Chain A
Amino acid sequence: MANFEPKIIAFCCDQSGYPSADMAGALRLNLPKNVQIVRVPCAGRVEALYLLKALEKGADGVILFACYEDNCQYLRGNLRAKGRLSYVHRLMEKIGLEKERIEICYLATNSGVKLAETLERKSKELKRLGPNPCVDRR
């Protein structure tokens, strides 16, 4: 595959993903180059449509950072996000898009290292999978 920097959109909730992203910076951990961090109040705010639109508009991969099960401050935001993700996975399967492009990762407020590692792993995985096939190549 050509040397490309996969564009990853990372949805980070105020309780886990976003502080972890801050912490990754504080620890001077390097995040992959083409990562867009999207701040949301809770993973439950992330609609299924955003996940698909991300890919439709050119992202190569999406990661949804949410709190561990039983840990959501709003009780069930992370569970609803998981349900929406499985709906999107079923759609992706049917249209021939690799399911691995969209993933959910559970972490806590202080998981700077886990966030950086997950993004790094995702970037490598996406380099292997190749760029998003549903985007016009310029």
Chain B
Amino acid sequence: MARIGIFIDTLKGTLPSSFRDQLRSTLREIPEVAFSAEEEELVSSEALERMSKLLEREKVERVVVVGGSPKIYETSFQKWGLPLPLNSYLFTVANIREQVLWSSMDEKEAFEKAKRTILKALRIASSLKPIESQTLPLKPEVLILGGGLSGISIASTLAKAGIQVFLVEKEKTLGGKTTELWKFYNKEVEVKGWLEQKISELRQNPRISLLAPAQLKYLRGHLGRFQATVLTGKGEEMTLTPHVIVVTTGYRVERKRGGIYDHKRVITLSEMEKLLSETHPPFPLFEGKRVETVTYLLDETNEDIKLDAINALKQSLILQGSLKCQVTILCKEVKVSSEGMERLYRKARGLGVLFVKYEESPRLSLVDGQIQVEVKDTSILHKEDQWTISILSDLVVLPETILPHQELNELSALLKLHLGKRGFLMEDNPQLLRVRSNRRGIFVAGGCRFPQEISETLFEADALAQEVLALLSKGAYTYDLSVAEVDPKKCALCYTCPRVCPHSAITVEKYAEKNVYLTYGIPQNTQWGAAKVDPASCFGCGICVGECPARAITLRHYPDELIYIQMGVDG
């Protein structure tokens, strides 16, 4: 067994002294223990300095910390990279406070169990192997897929910070869904001019290469070594080598069809937007006739997307406020949870816009060239007394159904990203890591993740740009090799691990000669002949280890031995 140094964290005296005495005498008997030092608060800077000096002097090979939960020690030693003269993975923690002393009834029993835990920790420490870190150089080159508002915004921010950006857009023109908007809901600026200025700035920016129309054909590689083949509109193939990829491909809309919904007086939100942009006061005209009554039918086509409510409210303020119309908004819930929306809602109510909440779908029918909308008014509590309101409308605005692009399935397969339950791209964590995808180095924002209105889209784009800058600014990505590793001699090339890996970090490099073992840091096109885990993209979860039918994969910081010792079956 290796020489082991023990640090007992008395946790400011919460470790009872009777226990400490017993422990000291037990440890004295064990030959591998070089020393056991006590500290009141092991993670304080003075204690760590003392620890550092002691380790240098005693020249131990492993360290065991006896104290509380491992997280706080790991954060100090590993994440903060404290200058300890020992590889930061050569230590283990015996969690005897939370998991032994505090959860045992009997003191004597607790001490016995704590001693057993510490002895186990000594065995674990002997089995540990050092884990090195590696650095992956990162160049400031980013590929952005999708030239809508998010893509344009991110491209500009990144270019300003000195990053070379390739912007690939499916259509010939940029702007996406934003080109259909006339006004913002919270700014007194017309969208068209604002957007055009952004686009012209982008076109003039020497750091942004615009490829439009163009589409992604293949993507190979991982963070820092992507190889993207793009097919341009002229039919030529270009190979780009970005180090980070951003996906902002947006969403599509579909008009609800069938029966009365095909009538020309049932229009979509974007058609109303266009109508308003062409309208001159005092009132809007539809086919030469005055429009007086407009009814919005929200939550029929999109159940829980705020975007419709925002646009409907914005349009209704114009219609009711300056175009002498009577607007009624029918909805299941009034969605005002966006910045400034509550104020606008009150303003709309003040202007006379009517809001009717419904539970059963309103009925539309044609009456003398107008659309009759019948809805039950649920503001009355007793269901039997709820009357049916009928509104004869010149125009009924029914928002389009918001859907993911039809090509998103294919694109997500090319990029090896996951799709969420609605068919949009899945973010890593909706609360904390909203712009990250399941793959390191690929970021997702905007409508392709979830459709939102402009200010939120711009915030998200900013957040994504910050993430990319944080990643690229140091010029390199440093990571520990606490990752999965495939033994190519045992790999049966069965493709199980690439399928199960949630982070798409495993590829099968299939060539002849399986019996060639290559160490880390191998060049890109070396023939490997087995499944290969990309260490920079691996998150160290260990799912592949349990799936491999040939037991060819090991998780370097959690090998079998470590688990067997913890189970107590290593004897």
Interface residues of A (CB under 8 A from B): 9, 18, 21-26, 28-31, 33, 36-42, 44-48, 50, 53-54, 57-59, 73-77, 80-81, 84, 116
Contacts and interface: CB of A to CB of B under 8 A. Distances in A.
Interface stretch (B82-90, B237-245, B534-542): B534-542
B418 A47 contact: no
Interface residues of B, number: 37
Contacts of B541: 41-42, 44-45, 73-74, 77
Q: Which of B95, B99, B438 has the most CB of A within 10 A?
A: B99
B103 A45 contact: no
Contacts of B105: 30
Interface in B536-571: 539-543, 545-547, 555, 557-558, 563-564, 566-569
Which has the most chain A C-beta neighbours within 10 Å: B70, B95, B97, B563? B563
B99 A54 contact: no
23 contacts: A22-B95, A22-B98, A23-B98, A33-B104, A38-B567, A45-B542, A45-B545, A45-B546, A45-B558, A47-B545, A50-B563, A50-B564, A53-B564, A53-B567, A53-B569, A74-B503, A74-B543, A76-B500, A77-B541, A77-B542, A80-B500, A80-B546, A81-B546
Given A21-B98, A22-B98, A41-B558, A31 B543 contact: no
B17 to A, nearest CB: 20
Contacts of A36: 566-568
A54 B540 contact: no
Given A18-B69, A37-B566, A41-B555, 10 more contacts: A25-B100, A45-B542, A47-B545, A59-B567, A74-B502, A74-B503, A75-B438, A76-B543, A77-B502, A81-B546
Nearest to B565: A38
Contacts of A59: 567
A24 B542 CA distance: 26
Contact of B98 (A25, A57, A77): A25
A25 B99 contact: yes
A23 B557 CA distance: 25
B543 A44 contact: yes
A54 B545 contact: no
B502 A25 contact: no
A42 B540 CA distance: 9
B109 interface: yes
Contacts of B546: 44-48, 80-81, 84
B417 to A, nearest CB: 12
Interface in B258-307: none
A80 B438 contact: no
A52 B86 CA distance: 36
Given A38-B567, A39-B566, A41-B558, A26 B102 contact: yes
A44 B539 CA distance: 12
